[in-house]
Amino acid sequence: MNLKELAKITGYSLSTVSKVFSDGKDVSAETKAAVIKKAKELGCFYKYDKKKFGKKVIAVICPEITSAYYTVILEELKKITERENSVMLVSVTDFSLKTESELIGFYSTDNRADGIIVMAGKSVAKKYNPVPIVYIGSSSEQKYADVVSIDFYSGIREAVYVLREAGHEKIGFIGERLTIGKQRLFEKAMKEKNLTVDPSLIVVSDKRFEEAGYDGMEKLFSGGNLPTAILASYDYIALGVITSLQKHGLKCPDDISLIGMDNIKIADYYNISLSSIETNAAEITGIVTDILYKKMNRRGYTLVQHVSVKSNLILRNSVKKRAD
């Protein structure tokens, strides 16, 4: 609905209705109240309200907030938005494409947000969106939106190389249903390093977090074919692996070396200092917000960028060189 149509419905002139939304001083309080009430009833009030909040509103659409991977990025984004005198709103999709698309539509209309950040996005940005959007780690082919992704392969390849140099050739992988992409990268790295990919040493658990690691390691024990080293698809899974090893009287790294991913804070303070692949959240969020604020502040800035940030291995004492 445009202002002309709203003016016709309310019975006021187009000029008067326009002044209501720009907080004109020569419009009576009664007239303002009547126009605003009708505009809210018709769902177009925020579309035309010219009174600004005073701070830029950044909407962050996130698949979940239970994973340390996402919460670390949210913490970094919060630091930057506060420094930029902005407000950050967080919405959770529970990995639903439908919810993600609905939230993008919601924040893109009626001045609800000045910029949008989509984490692990599954949607594809339209050619024109009134609000700048930057995706973090989008798996979709984005032609009309900026994407800052994590190059997990660089870190996984480094981890496999370090394990091979430490004498490990029988390397396993434990992940879950949401980390199939990392499993494929692990298999690719193994083949690149001329190592055999043994399907019996790869476990995809239907659980998550520590439970997935414990469950995956238990399945390896029940199969009777144990690796000398394991790459876990994220650190919480690695911690679950350690718990299972302890239950069976084995030690990390004396019996089995172990590497996780995401380098969460607890990784360096657990009962064993865990080697982990660092995803460089601070660098990622810095690039994301730099792109987003440029587009918010310069509406003519239309360059679309796809940036990949390398991951790297943080080697601690959960990896040990094989004696034989």
pLDDT at residue number 149: 93
Instruction: Report the alpha-carbon distance of residue 101 to residue 33 in Å, rounded.
Output: 34
DSSP for residue 37:
H
**How many Cα atoms sit within 13 Å of 60 on the Cβ side?**
24
Identical fold, 56-151+281-311 and 152-278:
yes
* pTM metric for this prediction: 0.81
Instruction: Report the alpha-carbon distance of residue 237 to residue 231 in Å, rounded.
Output: 10
Q: What is the pLDDT of residues 48-65, one digit of tens each?
A: 665 556 789 999 999 999
> Per-block average pLDDT, block size 10, for the chain (324 residues)?
85 86 79 88 73 80 92 95 95 96 90 90 87 85 91 97 97 97 97 97 97 98 96 96 96 96 76 90 96 88 91 96 83
pLDDT at residue number 234: 96
pLDDT at residue number 51: 58
pLDDT at residue number 140: 62
Superfamily per CATH, domain 152-278: Response regulator (3.40.50.2300)
**Phi, psi (rounded to 5 degrees) for 309:** -105, 125
Q: What is the DSSP string of 225-260?
A: ---SEEEESSHHHHHHHHHHHHHTT--TTTT-EEEE
Residue 274's nearest CA partner among 234, 247, 245 is 234
- Domain positions in the chain are 3-48, 56-151+281-311, 152-278
Q: What is the pLDDT of residues 142-201, one digit of tens each?
A: 889 999 999 999 999 999 999 999 999 999 999 999 999 999 999 999 999 999 999 999
Is-cis flag, bond preceding 132, omega within 30? no
Q: Fold for 56-151+281-311, please state it.
A: Rossmann fold (3.40.50)
Strands (E), the chain: 56-62, 86-92, 115-119, 133-136, 146-151, 171-176, 202-205, 229-232, 257-261, 275-278, 306-310, 312-314
Helices 29-41, 3-10: inter-axial angle, 10-degree rounding: 110
Question: H or E element: which one contains 70?
Answer: helix 68-83
Buried b (16+ CB within 10 A) or exposed e, 220-251: beeeeebbbbbbbbbbbbbbbbbebbeeeeee
pLDDT at residue number 147: 95
